[in-house]
Amino acid sequence: MRNRMIAGNWKMNKTYTEGVQLAQDLAEALSDGTGNVDVVVCPPTVDLKGVSTVIDQQSAPFALGAQNVYWEESGAYTGETAPNMLEAVGATYCIIGHSERRDYFHETDEDVNKKAKTLMSHNIVPISCCGEPLEIREAGTHVAYVVDQIKKDTEGLEISDPAKYVVAYEPIWAIGTGKTATADDAQEVCGAIRATLAEIFGQETADGIRILYGGSAKPENVAGFLEKEDVDGALVGGASLKADSFSAMVKAAM
């Protein structure tokens, strides 16, 4: 049985002090526990240590995730963050392949694949994002588009523990736009993702990999997505920036 997951992507928001305060507020809001729901918060890189300290000091019921990583262990890569640096501050998850990284910074599926392999070699769980732009959705080729991403992003991966790899389906046209895919839309693509993972890794492994929905997910709509067979949680953007809204989504998943 797959544990549900609610992961918060703070994106480029919250200074160090603000990030610590949000983590403290979230720890208090979830002080009664999260049941079988795994909760992850992914602050900006400069906030990682502060949030990690809150998690340790308050025994907060959530894990720490990063928003990006580079696939080399060290070297002359100005502005990048190595996987061992994430390990050192307590990060156990990392978002890769987000559409904003692909769009604004021209990251490719090959880049995502390299990052996944590097993270997994350091026992950091990738939250690997995929999703289609509006023109692909309107052309009706969205399922094939996402399946192709999955095949490229997982090429050569070895998954011995399906809990150590997470996929996040985020239709690009629904990210930060207020537009949201319906629960049936999400199930169509998430079901195709699981079927593709089964072809690659076998059905047993695919059945253990969690697939999240992202794209204007919020407290008012998360329950509908979670009713679907192949939707195991949410990757949350704007609603993760307030402790009350994010904790409400966690509680809806319990």
- Check if 132 is active-site: no
- Residue among 40, 46, 57, 52 nearest 88 (CA): 52
Per the residue annotation, which of 142, 170, 204, 220 is the catalytic one?
A: 170
Phi, psi of 72 (to 5 degrees): -90, 155
- Helix 183-201 / helix 142-153 crossing angle, nearest 10 deg: 40
Phi, psi of 63 (to 5 degrees): -100, 165
- Residue among 237, 238, 234 nearest 252 (CA): 234
CA distance 44 to 173: 23
Radius of gyration of the chain (CA): 17
- Check if 98 is active-site: yes
Cα–Cα distances in angstroms (integers) from residue 109 to residues 40, 124, 125, 130, in the given order: 24, 19, 17, 9
- What is the three-class DSSP state of 198? helix
In this structure, is the dihedral angle defined by the CA atoms of residues 46, 111, 88 and 120, taken in order, positive or negative?
positive
Largest Cα span, the chain: 50
Per the residue annotation, which of 72, 98, 135, 138 is the catalytic one?
A: 98
Instruction: Say if residues 166 and 127 touch (Cβ distance below 8 Å).
Output: yes
Where is 125: in which H helix or E strand? strand 125-130
Q: Indicate which residues carry an active-site annotation.
A: 98, 170
